[in-house]
Structure 1
Amino acid sequence: MWFFIALIAGAGIMGLAWLLKIKGVKLTWYEWLLGIVGFFLVLMTIQNYFGSVAEYEQEAANMFLLVLGLPAVVLLALAWSLAWRRRSAT
């Protein structure tokens, strides 16, 4: 399963880099950092959620969604928002 997740993640990152290059968007280092940390939190959330569900711990799985998933979404939204605002300001 992780092999396919890695393939999809790699294709997604490559597609994102290709799209940014075509659109002429240049990201700063902290936007990349926020995006990478958010992305790894999403991967950790997925792994912990499915691991907890496999062990029949539904309450723990839901807490992983809250504790790890919410900060991941916030970080990814912040990275996107910073890049969008800087691009629209120029």
Structure 2
Amino acid sequence: MWSLYTMIWMLIGIALGVGFTALVNMLNKRGISVRFYEWLIGITGLVLFLFTIQNFYTAFQEFYTKAAWMFLLVTGIPAVILLAISWQLVSRRVSNKA
């Protein structure tokens, strides 16, 4: 039927959907508005992070360990940086209002 790999990505998709819904609800409860470019940077970072995880896992399955670690370095660090930038943009804008 389904492979373990397919099930993992299905569960990741469900977790992302639930997490995104919880994030939007939390932001609405606290009265925090998020600009479109903050969403864009955050979603880009998240997609890049998921791309990194998928390729890291696949390269290890194919026994290309050096390529896996290099891919983690080359795309994983920019993904984390984009996510941090998005978070900092929102938190600094909210703290300046208070």
Are 1:56 and 2:34 counterparts?
no
Aligned counterpart, 2:52: 45
Give distance in 2, aligned partners of 1:29 and 1:85.
16
Identity %: 44
The alignment's TM-score, normalised by the length of structure 1, stands at: 0.96
Q: Let me know the Cα RMSD of the aligned residues.
A: 0.7
Where has structure 1 moved over 2 Å in runs of 4 or more? none
CA distance in 2, matches of 1:69, 1:10: 22
TM-score by length of 2: 0.89
Counterpart of 2:37 (choices 8, 20, 30) is 30
Note the residue ranges of structure 1 that are not aligned, 5 or more in a row: none
Q: Which has the larger radius of gyration?
A: 2
